[in-house]
Amino acid sequence: MKVIYLQKITMHSNVVFFESNKEQLLRQTFDHIKTLSYPLVKMNQTHSDNIHLINPKTLQKKITTILNTDCLITNSKNIILAVRTADCMPIIISHPSGYLCSIHSGRKGTEKKLLQKAIQTLSKKTQSNKDFSIWFGPHICSHCYEINSKTREYYNLQKNNITQLQNELNLSENHLIVSPYCTCCNNTMYFSYRKNNQTKRRNFFFCYLK
């Protein structure tokens, strides 16, 4: 399996992606979104394994919040999908047939196999299990993610999510891109829940089909 580590996301040519990781950039990003006049869909993220399919007919407002979900999927153009994190892993998936997916995957969602379920849904929708582009965004690394101080147990978000991909896809027929940044190690660049004293501030990641 070949894993490519890139700071910048590389998806299919019909996908537009941008991120904001500090307050000034976040304001600039939302100002940019306003100029696009596209509907924005956010998630009320609950560390679930719930997947929501976005249809433009169901969007009543400029900004829509989908309750109790951690995965959005659409095949409609010019609908902005948003995911916010502060140590959890943002995942963006695209397929050349015209499907786009945005995932919030923390430890709970990972253990519920959210990514694997999303791939299963996308494979049914696209009738394919190859040519996916999958991006793992900045997240807390295994060296920083201690889950048991007594036993010194650490959790590896990246490894566990790659395992879920391997359960569903032949990765030699798909394209996996992994951000090299840990939000905790690089908290001057990204907000980190653990490093920033359980901050309520979040990194935002946006994508849409053009």
Q: Which domains does the chain have, with CATH numbers?
A: 4-209 (3.60.140.10)
User: By C-alpha distance, which of 62, 115, 87 is closest to 196?
Assistant: 87
Cα–Cα distance for residue pair 49/154, rounded to 1 Å: 22
- Residue-wise pLDDT for 61-93, tens only, equals 888 999 999 999 999 999 999 999 999 999 999
* pLDDT block averages, 10 residues each, the chain of length 210: 43 73 73 86 97 88 93 96 94 96 97 98 97 94 83 88 96 91 86 77 89
Cα–Cα distance for residue pair 137/8, rounded to 1 Å: 9
User: By C-alpha distance, which of 157, 30, 185, 173 is closest to 90?
Assistant: 157
